[in-house]
């Protein structure tokens, strides 16, 4: 099994996916094991915004998600109490 995460330079990167390494191509039956494995956001030191501003934005998105394409995912994260993992790059 493999897990892929979205490659993106922005704050909200997207959703990860779990897939099988034993299939011949990604469209084959059973290639995608789990459509969504996690939500990825990037908080990093060399952004135009300070770390505290980025954390405040993440807190706002989690506690009071606005109507955006990702708002349903932010609501699901807070509804089930999933602890987020912050990767330091």
Domain membership flag for residue 30: yes
For residue range 21-78, list pLDDT tens digits in order: 888 877 788 888 877 877 888 888 877 889 999 899 888 888 887 777 777 777 777 7
Strands 2-4 and 32-41: unpaired
d(CA 43, CA 51): 7
Domain membership flag for residue 88: no
For tokens 């997207």, what's the residue?
A: 14
For tokens 């602890």, what's the residue?
A: 83
How many domains in the chain? Answer: 1
Domain range for 66: 2-80
């Amino acid at each position: 099994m493999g897990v892929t995460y979205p490659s993106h330079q922005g704050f909200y990167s997207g959703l990860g996916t779990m897939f099988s390494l034993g299939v011949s191509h990604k469209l084959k039956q059973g290639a995608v094991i789990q459509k969504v494995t996690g939500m990825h956001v990037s908080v990093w030191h060399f952004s135009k915004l300070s770390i505290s501003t980025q954390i405040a934005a993440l807190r706002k998105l989690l506690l009071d998600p606005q109507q955006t394409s990702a708002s349903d995912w932010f609501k699901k994260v807070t509804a089930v109490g999933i602890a987020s993992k912050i990767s330091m790059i």
